Amino acid sequence: MSTATARPRVRLPQLTLVQRLGLLLGSIAFLVPLLIQIPGLEPAGHRMLAIFLLAILFWVTEAIPLYATAVLVILLQVLMLSDQALVGGVGPLPPAATYFATLANPVIILFLGGFLIADGAHKFGLDRSLAAVMLRPFAGNARLSLLGLMMITALLSMFVSNTATTATMFAVVIPILAALPKGPARTGVALAIPIAANVGGIGTPVGSPPNAIALGALEASGQGISFIGWMLLAVPLMVVVLLFSWWFLSRRYIAVDTPMSLELSADFDRSPAALIFYLVAGATVLLWLTEPFHGISSSTVGFLPVVALLATQVMGADDIKRLQWPVLWLVAGGIALGAGIGASGLDVWLIGLVAWEALPLTLLLLLLVAVSVGLSTVISHSAAANLLVPLTLSLAIGLPIDPTAVGVMVALACALGMALPISTPPNAIAYATGEVPTSEMIVSGVVIGGFGALLLALVMPSVWDALGLL
Amino acid sequence: MKLALLILEDERPVREALRRDLVSFARHVRLEEAEDVPTALEVIEEIDAAGDRLALVMADHRLPGTSGVDFLIGLAADDRTATARKVLVTGQADQDDTIRAINEAGLDRYVAKPWQADALCELVRDQLTAFVVAAGVDPLPHLAVLDAERALAIVRERGDL
């Protein structure tokens, strides 16, 4: 007998007022540079400015999904700024293929490898087993346990997306949370995980999308950074901010005598498929860390696990489909935007708008970091990086500082915006557990984000200089 | 948007017992009751009009007028309610009714009266989670009434957008 089951209705989401406004203002802002002649801006620059303004309004208001704006940016660049432009007459334009190529930019390939390894780690239960093993030495003392939780979360988050790390760690932690007395201790633990995941994400190029956006933009301007090079720049900041967060959270929320049990069982998969996975993942990470010795770029290394895991059938077509394509496309849109701003002469015009060189460098860096943290608190970290990285890299041309430092700084600052439930998916998860009041998230986010921002703007440039990293 | 749970039961004491046992869900889920099929259809209209989603129906079989099984078969054919999870809560459905409920309405669970309160809550949590997974609803606003492990598995695949 056949079942008379209806095809479920596809529901379009209701647009919020902000989204409607975003659609309207974005469309108007798109038209203005096309209709008005701006002195000092080349014809191609006008078109790029139109696309950039549209991207700002759409990404900030999320008028359409973030990844939809990203592909819209690429399409508009093809239609307005390539050899296939609908209206010519603005001088020689690059082939359309250069814009489409951003979807397979080497940084995207690097992320493809990172995502596949992260998904495999989950598929074989490696993430949970590692967490269980590494938490054991921290058992006994509640504050020490919190440190253990945060360190493991950050370590996982260096290689796995911040969101997936948070989801995994909450699955581990929910029984621990339930055993804690209601109140501050639960809040402290539930806050520690998203904070550690956000901070850990800055540690490696594959840790979170803003890193990829900065890397892609720097590579486009011939200033690529190796995997280990990125880690040397970012890990010191990561460790200090992490330790500070632990100190702050444990003082504020965890009484010394809080009982906390961390009895987790590690269950390492020893099937042949899992063993091949461990080998491939281990080899990939090792090759990433040793780039200065063998010279194979991190993107090429990132493609290695893709080939090896698919060829050995440890992972298959379903795993490819499950990869976070929306994130990859969002990054590609950011890279395309950056490339367009550089190629159209819009960057030169933007720098000319303000006499940046008249400001003291320290103040300028503080401003840069503050804007990045502020914007990424209210919009997606990746979208904030997509907008700010190309802007600040153009700005850096006229400054007495290495553009690499500026690019990395903006990417790292975009990770520090974590004062609201909407700031990042990890925060949204923590908020959804019901253990974290918004007010506590604001307090911890402002204190820890603020500490990280000051460190990043005032101390890190000298540290990088002193270590000879730039 | 809230998830809605509809109890279809003609006997008031049974309805009240169900509501009492599911009280822990009431803070996060829209709990609705109906004593017969026409009322149930009205309630579904209201849920839909308010922009909420019917996630779970717990229906008795023996009702005045249309039977619970026929009601569930109707839900399966309606594009608004096709994804709703369907549970029969009854002591009086014979084998033929039960077979029709499974084959034609895609029945998800069968609860025999009398039920155990704890087991019922587990079942509701499990079914709400199954609805969220199948309907592609964002699980985070409803995390309190879901199986956290399965709900977080959906979130994990989103990545850092």
| Interface ipTM | 0.87
Contacts (Cβ under 8 Å, ≥6 apart) of A238: A154, A199, A200, A202, A203
Angstroms from A174 CA to nearest CA on chain B:
8
**Given this model, what pLDDT does residue A135 score?**
85
Nearest Cβ partner for A6 among B78, B135, B160 = B78
Does the pLDDT value for residue A1 go beyond 60? Answer: no
Q: pLDDT tens digit string along A237-260? A: 999 999 999 999 999 999 888 877
Residues 6 or more apart whose Cβ sits within 8 Å of residue A33: A41, A46, A47, A49, A50, A53
- pLDDT class of A266 with cuts at 50, 70, 90: confident
End-to-end CA distance of chain B: 22
- Helix A403-415 and helix A361-378: axis angle, to 10°? 40
d(CA A271, CA A468): 45
Residue A470 burial class via C-beta count within 10 angstroms: exposed 0-12, middle 13-18, buried 19 and up: middle
E strand map for A84-169: none
For residue A273, how many other CB atoms are within 10 A of its CB? Answer: 16
A chain contacts of residue B152, beta-carbon cutoff 8 Å: 167-168, 170-171, 429
- Rounded to an integer, the average pLDDT of A49-63 is 96
Could you tell me the pTM of the whole model?
Answer: 0.91
A296 in Cβ contact with A287 (< 8 Å): yes
Q: What pLDDT score does A2 carry? A: 44
d(CA A6, CA A224): 53
Rg over alpha carbons for chain A, rounded to the nearest Å, is: 23
Distance, in Å, from the CA atom of A340 to the CA atom of A332, rounded to the nearest integer, reads 12
According to DSSP, residue A459 is labeled: I
Q: What is the DSSP string of A358-386?
A: GS-HHHHHHHHHHHHHHHHHHS-HHHHHH
Say if CB A159 and CB A204 are below 8 A apart: yes
A1–B104 C-beta distance less than 8 A: yes
For the stretch B84-137, pLDDT in tens is 999 999 887 788 999 999 999 999 999 998 999 999 999 999 999 999 999 989
Q: Are B48 and B2 in contact (CB under 8 A)?
A: no
Give the count of beta carbons closer than 10 Å to the beta carbon of residue B64: 9
Quick one: which H or E segment has residue B32?
strand B29-34
Residue A163 has its nearest CB partner, among B76, B80, B155, at: B155
Task: Kindly report the length of chain A.
Answer: 470
d(CA A53, CA B38): 53
Higher pLDDT residue, A135 or A146?
A146
Looking at the DSSP bridge assignments, the partners of residue B58 are B7, B87
Percent of chain A clearing pLDDT 70 (strictly above): 99
- A182: confidence class by pLDDT, cuts 50, 70, 90: confident
Q: What residues of chain B, 91 to 110, have a C-beta less than 8 Å from chain A?
A: 103-106
Lowest mean pLDDT: which of A3-17, A165-179, A431-445, B120-134?
Answer: A3-17
| Structural class in CATH, domain B3-120 | alpha beta
Question: Where exactly are the structural domains of chain B?
Answer: 3-120
How close, in Å, is residue A421 to chain B by CA atoms?
11
Whether A155 has a pLDDT exceeding 60, the answer reads: yes
At position A406, the amino acid (one-letter code) is V
Q: Tell whether B23 lies on the interface with A, counting CB pairs under 8 A.
A: no
3-state secondary structure of A202: coil
Show the CA angle centred on residue B156, arms to residues A72 and A451, nearest 5°: 85
Q: What is the average per-residue pLDDT within A194-210? A: 97
Query: Residue A194: which of A236, A161, A217, A218 has the closest Cα?
Result: A161
* Mean pLDDT across A29-49: 93
When the pLDDT of each residue in chain A is averaged and rounded to a whole number, the result is 92
Give CA–CA dist A147/A125, Å, rounded. Answer: 22
